[in-house]
Structure 1
Amino acid sequence: MNLNNKTILITAIDEFIGLRAAELAIAQGMKVKGIQSSSVQDQTLKNLGVEIIVGSITDEKIAQRACQGVDIILHTAQLAEEAGELKPFREINVGGTLNIAKAAKQAGVKTFLHLSTVLVYGFNYANQITETGTVASDNNPYCQTKIEAEIEVLKLNSPPDFGVIIIRAGDVYGPGSLPWIVRPVLMMRQKLFAYANDGKGVMNHLYVDNLIDAIFLAIEKEAYGEIFNVTDGEETSWKDYFIHLAAMEGLPAPMSLPKEEMKLFLRVRNQGQKLFRKKADILPESVDFMSRLYPYSIAKATNILNYKPKVDLEEGMKRTHQWLQKTDIQKLMK
C-alpha cells in the first residue's frame, strides 16, 4: 500500500505515541484525523491542521463518525497503568478496541493496526521470545486485557476487505514518554529513584520514531493477520539505561535496592500519598515492569518488514534531552 494521500485515523492522538505518529504521517504525505478524550487541543496538532474528534473510544457514535472516509486506523488508545481494578482496563483496552475495530470494518476501512505490547508475555518469559511464544497475564490487568484485545481484534481480520495487524511494542521512550522518561527523571530530581536487583535484566527500549517506522512498514506491506515484536534490538541493561538517563540530566547515578525491598518502600510511599489525597506517582507493581530479564526477538519484523531501527539509544537520549531542556515535565503528571 502506498501511504501517500491516504487518510489515517489515530486514536489517542494527543498522547505521546499518537502525537508523534500524526507528525510523521503528515511528513509522509498522509491526511490525519484523530480521536482524543480531552477537549483541549494540542497546539502541535492545531498547527498541523489535523481533524480532531473529541470523545471516548468506547462510544459507538464517536467511533462510527471518526471512521468515515478513512483508509487506515492506528489504534494507540489504551489504559496503560501498572495495576488497578480489572473492569476499567477491560472497558478501554478490550471494549474500546473492539468498538473502534467494528466501526472501522463497517465503514469500509481497509487497514486496522492495533498497537499492543510485549507485556502480553508477562514478566517471566523465555529469552528471545518470538511471536509464537506463550502469552501470560501474571495476574496483571494491563497484561491480561492487552492479551484479550489481541484475541478479539484478530477475529475481525478478513483481508482484502479488512486487514488487522498487531505490533507488540517494547518499552517506548522519547520526548513525552511518561513511564520511561518523565516519571524516572522527576523521581531522580528528588533523589527518590532506584532500580531493582542491581539493574540486571534487559530494558527493551524502543525509540518512538523507530516504532512508527515499523508501523508504517507493516501497513505498506499489508501484513494482515500478522503479529510483530518491535524493539530497538539493543540489549541494554536496566542499570545502563537509568544511569544513561541520569547522566543526561546531570544527576547522580540512581541506587539499587532488592526487588522486594523496593516494592515495600513504594507501598509505604503510596500509603503516605493517600493520606494527603495525592495520586500515587509510581506503584509497587512497576518494579515487575522494571526488572524483566530477557530481550524479545525482533527477527520476524526484521525479515518480513525489513525493519531496521534508525535511532539508537545515544541519539534517542540526545533528542529526549533537548526536549527535556525546554519542557516543564511536572505539568505532564497532573
Structure 2
Amino acid sequence: MNLQNKTLLIVGIDEFIGLRAAELAIAQGMKVRGLQTSNDKEAQNLGAEVIVGSINDPNIAQKACQGVDIVLHTAQVTQEAGPLKHFREINVGGTLNMAKAAKNAGVKTFVHLSSVMVYGFNYPDGITESGPLSDDNNPYCQTKIEAEAELLPLNAPPDFGIIIIRAGDVYGPGSIPWIVRPILMMRQKLFAYANDGKGVINHVYIDNLIDGIFLAIEKETYGEIFNITDGQDTSWKEYFMRLAAMEGLPAPMSLPKDEMKLFLKLRHQGQKLFRKKADILPESVDFMTRPYAYSIAKAQNLLDYKPKIDLETGMHLTREWLQQTDIQRLVK
C-alpha cells in the first residue's frame, strides 16, 4: 500500500506516540485526522483535523472513522497499576469500539498499538510473538492481552485487516515513563535503580517505532503481530546512567528490588494520606527490572525493519528537546 494521500486516523493523537505519528505521517504526504479526549491544540497546529470525544462513544467512533483508509489506535491507560475496571474500559472496550466502527465505516487497515508487556515480567530470553503470554496479575498486562484476543477475530482481509504492534519501552522527546519521570526524580535525588541495574531495557526510539508501524501498513501484513524495539541489549544500569549523564546529574544508586518496592509502597501510602497524586507506584519496579531482550527477528524478516536511530543518537535528540522544554508541566 502506498501511504501517500491516504487518510490516517490516529486515536489518541494528543499523546506522546500519537503526536509524533501525526507529524511523521503528514511529512510523508498523508492526510491525518485525530481523535482525542482533551482540548489540546498541538495536533491541529501540526495540520491534523481533530475530533474531541471518547473512544467508548459509538457515535464519536463512527464519525471519526468516516472516509478513513487506516486507523492507528494508540489510546490506552498506561499506568503501572490501578483498578482493573478502568483499564478494561479503555484498553479493551474502547479499542474494540474503535475497531468495530472502523470495520463498519469501510476502513481497510486497523493497527493496534499493543505492548511487549503481554509477556509479563518473567519471560524467556529472546521471546518471540508466539509467546507465552502472561498477565502476572497486572491490570495493564492483562488488558493488553485481552484487547489482542478481542481484535484478532475481526481480521477479515482484504476488506478489513488487523495488525498488532507490540511496542518495546518507547523513549524520546515526550516519553513520560522512560524520560520525563526518571529525570524529574533524579533532579530531586529520589531516583534509584534495582538489583544493580541487571536485566534489559527493550528501548525503542519513537521514530523507529513509527517506522515499524508504517512498514507493517505498507506491506499489508494483516493478522500479524510484531515486536518492535531497537534490538539493542542495553542494561537498565547503562540506560539510567546515560539519562543522568545527559542531565549532568550524579549517577543514581542501586537498591535491592524488595527494598525499593517497600519504600515506594510507604511513600504512596503517605501521598494518599495527604491526598497527593502518586508520582511513582511500587509496581513500577516490576516494569524496570525485566530480565531479557525480546526478539525482533520477525519484523526484520517480514518488514525489513531496521532501527535507524541508535541509543546514542536517540539520547542526543532527547537532550536537545529537554534543553528547551519544561518537563514538569508534562506530568499530569
Report the TM range for the smaller structure's normalisation: over 0.9
Q: Which residue does 1:174 correspond to in 2?
A: 172
TM-score if structure 2 supplies the norm length? 0.99
Q: Which residue does 1:107 correspond to in 2?
A: 105
Aligned residues: CA RMSD: 0.6
Q: Which residue does 1:149 correspond to in 2?
A: 147
1:17 is the counterpart of 2:48 = no
Letter in 2 for 1:31: K
TM-score if structure 1 supplies the norm length? 0.99
Please list, as runs of the form range in 1=range in 2, the aligned pairs for 1:96-245 lying within 5 A after superposition. 96-245=94-243
Shift of 1:272: 1.6
Shift of 1:333: 0.9
Is the CA contact (8 Å cut-off) linking 2:111 and 2:162 kept in structure 1?
A: yes
Q: Which residue does 2:327 correspond to in 1?
A: 329
Shift of 1:46: 2.6
**SS of residue in 2 equivalent to 1:155:** helix
Give the whole-Å Cα distance in 2 for the aligned partners of 1:268 and 1:195.
Answer: 17
* 1:44-97: CA deviation from partner (whole Å, max 9, x where unpaired): x23322100001111111100000000000000000110111001000000000
Give the whole-Å Cα distance in 2 for the aligned partners of 1:108 and 1:157.
Answer: 13
Give the whole-Å Cα distance in 2 for the aligned partners of 1:230 and 1:54.
Answer: 29
Give the whole-Å Cα distance in 1 for the aligned partners of 2:316 and 2:267.
Answer: 32
**SS of residue in 1 equivalent to 2:276:** coil
| CA separation of 1:145 and 1:57: change in aligned 2, threshold 3 A | same
Letter in 1 for 2:60: I
Percent identical among aligned pairs is: 77
Letter in 1 for 2:37: S
Is the CA contact (8 Å cut-off) linking 2:155 and 2:222 kept in structure 1?
A: yes
Please point out which of 267, 270, 273 is paired with 2:271: 273
* 1:4-63: CA deviation from partner (whole Å, max 9, x where unpaired): 000000011010000000000001100000000002322xx2332210000111111110
* 1:286-329: CA deviation from partner (whole Å, max 9, x where unpaired): 00000000000000000000000000000000111111111111
Please list, as runs of the form range in 1=range in 2, the aligned pairs for 1:69-88 lying within 5 A after superposition. 69-88=67-86
Letter in 2 for 1:239: K
**SS of residue in 2 equivalent to 1:52:** strand
Give the whole-Å Cα distance in 2 for the aligned partners of 1:199 and 1:119.
Answer: 19
Shift of 1:274: 1.4
Q: Which residue does 1:30 correspond to in 2?
A: 30
Is the CA contact (8 Å cut-off) linking 2:37 and 2:52 kept in structure 1?
A: yes
Give the whole-Å Cα distance in 1 for the aligned partners of 2:295 and 2:240.
Answer: 22
Q: What is the number of residues matched between the two proteins?
A: 332
Give the whole-Å Cα distance in 2 for the aligned partners of 1:9 and 1:46.
Answer: 13
Give the whole-Å Cα distance in 2 for the aligned partners of 1:133 and 1:59.
Answer: 33
Q: Which residue does 1:294 correspond to in 2?
A: 292
Is the CA contact (8 Å cut-off) linking 2:199 and 2:236 kept in structure 1?
A: yes
Give the whole-Å Cα distance in 1 for the aligned partners of 2:100 and 2:216.
Answer: 21
Give the whole-Å Cα distance in 1 for the aligned partners of 2:166 and 2:147.
Answer: 12
Give the whole-Å Cα distance in 1 for the aligned partners of 2:289 and 2:323.
Answer: 28
* 1:218-272: CA deviation from partner (whole Å, max 9, x where unpaired): 0000000000001000000000000000000000010000000000110111112
Is the CA contact (8 Å cut-off) linking 2:10 and 2:32 kept in structure 1?
A: yes
Segment of structure 1 superposing worse, 136-145 or 269-278? 269-278
